[in-house]
A and B are shown apart, each in its own frame.
Chain A
Amino acid sequence: MSWTTVEIAGKVCRVAVERTAAGVWIGWRGRTVFVPHERRDAARGLSEDEVRAPMTGKVVRVPAAAGMDVREGDVLVILEAMKMEYRLASPHDGRVDAVHCAEGELVDLGKTLVTLSDAPAGTSGDGR
């Protein structure tokens, strides 16, 4: 447990700080903020072609399959954590390059679940 003080506009305030391998947690007047350490992949920017797990959870269904053409918003993977379902949708029109997860698998936060490539030219929706 680590408390520190910081001066804000001439007034000393108490702030809670905890470091981890991934970043720094800060607690201030009921607000909790996590500041991740700068990482090489973060600096590079997350690819729009990688759909990653936004949380640790279980894969309950994988509607996406390699080679499938998808539209922006199509559900690729359904994750479950804490008894609620979360739908991971395609960020853009394109084609599923590969699926890196399977139904029933427990995946960690940040794991790449599906990789996409841009839609082949001239493809249009199938009217769904």
Chain B
Amino acid sequence: MRAIRKVLVANRGEIACRVIRTLREMGIASLAVHSDVDRDAPHVWMADEAVGLGAPRSYLDATLIITAGQRAGASAVHPGYGFLAENAQFAAACEDAGLVFIGPSPAAMRALGDKRAARKAAEDIGVPVVPGARQCDSPDAAAAAADRVGYPVLIKAAGGGGGKGMRRVHSREEIKEAFAGARREAHAAFSDDRLLVEKYIHPARHVEVQILGDGVGAVALGERECSLQRRYQKVIEESPSPGIDARTRSRLCEAAVKLAAATGYANAGTVEFLVGPDGAFYFLEVNTRLQVEHPVTEAVTGLDLVRSQIEIASGGALPVPPDPRGHAIEARLNAEDPYSQFLPSTGKILMLDWPTRPQTRIDSGIVQGSEVHPFYDSLLAKIICWGQDREQARRRLVTALRETTILGVHTSQAFIIQLLESEELRSGATHTTTIESRSWEPAAVPAEVLQLAARSAHTPAVLRTAGGALCDQYSPWHALGGFRMGA
């Protein structure tokens, strides 16, 4: 057993806050790191200690982060997702510096986290993979591979996920620009610009299996359906999947556990599959980290996956997988304008009001007064609702979203409500292209509501104080009385 007493959380936003909450519950000290622009961010003041790193990109600076951990006497590092979470070099450097990396071993990360290597590992043990090429170092190589498997194809980053560094290509003419764009995005997001090419399976469901391994064996904690995606970014996730039967479920779980055991996988991971309309499935990739959508698995299993990660990292036993209970759905709230080409929206959160209701979980990285910066991922918060069945979970989530107020930046909130109310989602007939296959026009807002804008426009928002400084009269930081976070 390796005692973990203080954990450096090498991340920001909602996932850093979520990890810190479990650390608190376990009585483990938390050390936050932050960039200069995140000095006032919730994860910083939620943690027991915090260290400033500097530039916006410093969450990717392995040396800086490890040094901060050593100086503060941390015993372990939790990478969250994104940033350095799937960087084997970082994991190795943590271990070399005497910090337990809460995640798989660098060797397992190299074997599975890298999409090319993972495809090979899956093929070797007889798990079907999407046809394609693992090695595409030039637009010409990508074109050759695409010609071989047939268009359309996907060009993907070998070193990371989340739709960053990914392009769908319909013809040879598009390869060159798509390759260059994917490479730039991959480099910016993962500091790794290697690419691969895969045949594009259509229509397909995206179904993934949550695994926990201990380096020898592994357990599967059921699946998550993540078919509702936009630009390869998941929008709504649920567990169990409404689109697979018990037989497919057990075959998926079996394949995932087999892959984890064959590669000596330790800690939490996710094995992603595409499921075709005929029920045939293809291995996609392994995410060697905690996923954004892990709370839906937590909701149906009752497990705290961050706690499991820490227990495994300190040498503890794998949990016995509980029988899943009920249904859970998660909605991601992104800082983007769904009715204006999903353009990123930045600015200050002027007003934030979350619903308080049963079986509704909110994992948020923002509070009223937070700045939403252009430097980082657009995910602001997630709302996860559990129900005894799918319809109850769905209705609960719709209600929770209707009772949520976020002013100051545009968010995907209203679009998610539309999706949850759509016939496609109600029936469970969701595919990876459901969102892009039709237009989503915003419902009309009553004129009485809009007229409020005209009425309130006469009051100036910015007042000049006696001292002459500009002061936003609505900022909670300038309120004379007390205010309550999240109220």
Q: Which residues of A contact B (CB under 8 A)?
A: 1-2, 4, 6-8, 13, 15-21, 23-35, 37, 54-58, 60-61, 78, 80-86, 106, 109
Task: Let me know if B402 is at the binding interface, CB within 8 A.
Answer: yes
B406 near A27: Cβ-Cβ < 8 Å:
yes
Q: Which residues of B contact A (CB under 8 A)?
A: 164, 181, 184-185, 188-189, 231, 335-336, 340-341, 343-346, 350-351, 353, 368, 374-378, 401-408, 410-411, 413-414, 417, 442-443, 445-446, 448-454, 456-457, 459-462, 474, 476, 487
Q: A6-B452, A82-B378 are in contact. Are A55 and B346 (CB under 8 A)?
A: yes
| Minimum distance in angstroms from B334 CB to a CB of chain A | 8
Give CA–CA (A11, B374) in the complex, Å. Answer: 40
Q: A20-B350, A85-B185 are in contact. Are A32 and B449 (CB under 8 A)?
A: no
Q: A27-B405, A57-B344, A83-B164 are in contact. Are A33 and B450 (CB under 8 A)?
A: yes
Q: Please name all residues of chain B whose beta carbon is closer than 8 Å to the beta carbon of A32 when the two chains form the complex.
A: 405-407, 410-411, 413-414
Interface of A is mostly: strand
A18 near B346: Cβ-Cβ < 8 Å:
no
| Minimum distance in angstroms from A61 CB to a CB of chain B | 8
B457 near A2: Cβ-Cβ < 8 Å:
no
Q: Please name all residues of chain A whose beta carbon is closer than 8 Å to the beta carbon of B487 when the two chains form the complex.
A: 1
14 CB-based A-B contacts, threshold 8 Å: A1-B353, A16-B405, A24-B456, A25-B350, A25-B407, A26-B407, A26-B445, A30-B401, A31-B443, A32-B407, A54-B343, A55-B346, A81-B344, A82-B335
Closest 6 CB pairs of A and B: A35-B453, A25-B407, A24-B453, A30-B402, A82-B378, A27-B405
A37 near B351: Cβ-Cβ < 8 Å:
no
Q: Please name all residues of chain A whose beta carbon is closer than 8 Å to the beta carbon of B401 when the two chains form the complex.
A: 30
* Neighbour of A20 across the interface among B181, B184, B461, CB < 8 A: B461
B453 near A21: Cβ-Cβ < 8 Å:
no
Give CA–CA (A55, B249) in the complex, Å. Answer: 43
* Neighbour of A84 across the interface among B344, B414, B457, B462, CB < 8 A: B344
Q: Name the residue of chain A whose CB is nearest to the CB of B346.
A: A56
Query: Residue among A7, A23, A35, A83 with the most chain B CB within 10 A?
Result: A83
A31 near B445: Cβ-Cβ < 8 Å:
yes
Give CA–CA (A89, B459) in the complex, Å. Answer: 38
| Number of interchain pairs (Cβ within 8 Å) | 145
Q: Please name all residues of chain A whose beta carbon is closer than 8 Å to the beta carbon of B413 when the two chains form the complex.
A: 30-32
A58 near B404: Cβ-Cβ < 8 Å:
no
Q: A55-B343, A81-B346 are in contact. Are A4 and B452 (CB under 8 A)?
A: yes
| Minimum distance in angstroms from B450 CB to a CB of chain A | 7
Q: Name the residue of chain A whose CB is nearest to the CB of B180.
A: A61
Q: Please name all residues of chain B whose beta carbon is closer than 8 Å to the beta carbon of A13 when the two chains form the complex.
A: 448-449
* Neighbour of B408 across the interface among A18, A31, A54, A81, CB < 8 A: A18
| Minimum distance in angstroms from A128 CB to a CB of chain B | 10
A2 near B453: Cβ-Cβ < 8 Å:
no
Q: Please name all residues of chain B whose beta carbon is closer than 8 Å to the beta carbon of A6 when the two chains form the complex.
A: 448-449, 451-452
Give CA–CA (A84, B487) in the complex, Å. Answer: 32
| Minimum distance in angstroms from B255 CB to a CB of chain A | 31
B343 near A86: Cβ-Cβ < 8 Å:
yes
B456 near A17: Cβ-Cβ < 8 Å:
yes
Q: Please name all residues of chain B whose beta carbon is closer than 8 Å to the beta carbon of A24 when the two chains form the complex.
A: 452-453, 456-457
B449 near A15: Cβ-Cβ < 8 Å:
yes
Q: Please name all residues of chain A whose beta carbon is closer than 8 Å to the beta carbon of B405 when the two chains form the complex.
A: 16, 27, 32
* Neighbour of B452 across the interface among A15, A80, A82, CB < 8 A: A15
B351 near A27: Cβ-Cβ < 8 Å:
yes
* Neighbour of A28 across the interface among B181, B189, B445, CB < 8 A: B445
Give CA–CA (A25, B408) in the complex, Å. Answer: 7
Give CA–CA (A18, B336) in the complex, Å. Answer: 19
B448 near A1: Cβ-Cβ < 8 Å:
no
Q: Please name all residues of chain B whose beta carbon is closer than 8 Å to the beta carbon of A19 when the two chains form the complex.
A: 456-457, 459-461, 474
